[in-house]
Amino acid sequence: MIRTSRRLADGREILYFDADGTPARTAEDCRDLPPVGTHSQLRWDALLGEWVVIAAHRQTRTFLPPADQCPLDPSRPGRPTEVPEADYQVVVFENRFPSLATAVDRDVAPAAPGAPLAELRPGFGRCEVVLFTSDHDQQFAGLGRERARLVVDVWADRTAELGALDGVEQVFCFENSGEEIGVTLSHPHGQIYAYPFVTPRVERVLASVRRHREATGGDLFAELVESERTGPRVVTSNEHWIAFVPAAARWPYEVQMFPTRRAPDLPALDDAERDALAEVYLDVLGRFAHRMDTPMPYIAAWNQAPVRTGREDWWLHLQLFSLRRAPGKLKYLAGSESGMGAFITDTNPEDVAEQLRNVVVP
């Protein structure tokens, strides 16, 4: 893999990731761009014990432009975009409308106005956009194994580099796919967040792992993976990965992918595991794409170990889920889910696993 670092007109970094033998990336960004201004804050929710990111400047971000005006396509004569080159394989660049940034204003008050319990911190971190292909009309499921493997290597590269930044506590690679999910740019892309805190989900899972060890002496992650390897909820697997519908799935269609060997994060995977990951991931995405009359919208969320805490307890895994419960019908987070965080699902996990196993991918 060849990595080339360049700068966009406003100073943001752009990284080109290419297979061997590709031309040098030398195109200049000729746009006249104002500097990026980031005014994010972290505010502490004292009741829930969680950080909330306040990023009001993102209200002006680009929203569903026409396909011929997509800012993620390669540049062409007369229409410069976020990618100065005329073509590319995989590209990563700093988000122009980031929720978190390394250059954020560090001078913040100790607490929110009139709320002494709501501690304030600067919205430090980094938010990156990952472009999987220059083909605007492609989907991840159609990338092919070679390109998918390149994306896996890019995720690992960025996880390692962002995790090395002083003040970053967790790196989150993810993809939002489909307008029903809330995607504002239709070009196939994902994002990476480098958080200055450990996210609530990861803290909660780590607490469950530790509680299980204290109560039983066992390893919760290892027991979960072993119990699902031959169970009724397996969707697909190979030597190094297993994909299954979780027994207590929260979403109408939900799959979790685990490596069969404990690894804390994507950089810890060896070459064989990365090859196998690309194979199983494309398989599962293909099933999501062909389960109904149109591809299901989805969120793909990589659950990686925190940078500094709990790494010895963590087991890397992917959550892939869709809020579509049937053709033309969505699962809305209504009173119980949004108000109380108590999920009520509309599908049976064992039935969903069987449906996904039976999908014929062209």
Q: What does the domain layout of the chain look like in residue ranges?
A: 85-95+125-362
Say how far apart CA 353 and CA 260 lie, in whole Å. Answer: 19
**C-alpha to C-alpha distance for 30 and 53, rounded to whole angstroms:** 33
DSSP string, 50-71: EEEEE-GGGGGS--S--GGG-T
**pTM more than 0.85:** yes
Beta strand 90-94 pairing with 111-112:
unpaired
Residue type (1 letter), 353:
A
- Quote the pLDDT of residue 56: 82
Active-site hit among 189, 212, 290, 317: 189
**Considering the domain 85-95+125-362 in this protein, what is its CATH number?**
3.30.428.10
- Each residue's pLDDT, cut to its tens digit, for the chain (362 residues) gives 999 999 999 999 999 999 887 778 999 999 999 988 778 999 999 999 999 999 987 776 676 688 789 999 999 999 999 999 999 999 999 999 999 999 888 889 999 999 999 999 999 999 999 999 999 999 999 999 999 999 999 999 999 999 999 999 999 999 999 989 988 898 999 999 999 999 999 999 999 999 999 999 999 999 999 999 989 999 999 999 999 999 999 999 999 999 999 999 999 999 999 999 999 999 999 999 999 999 999 999 999 999 999 999 999 999 999 999 999 999 999 999 999 999 999 999 999 999 999 999 98
Residue 189 bears catalytic tag: yes
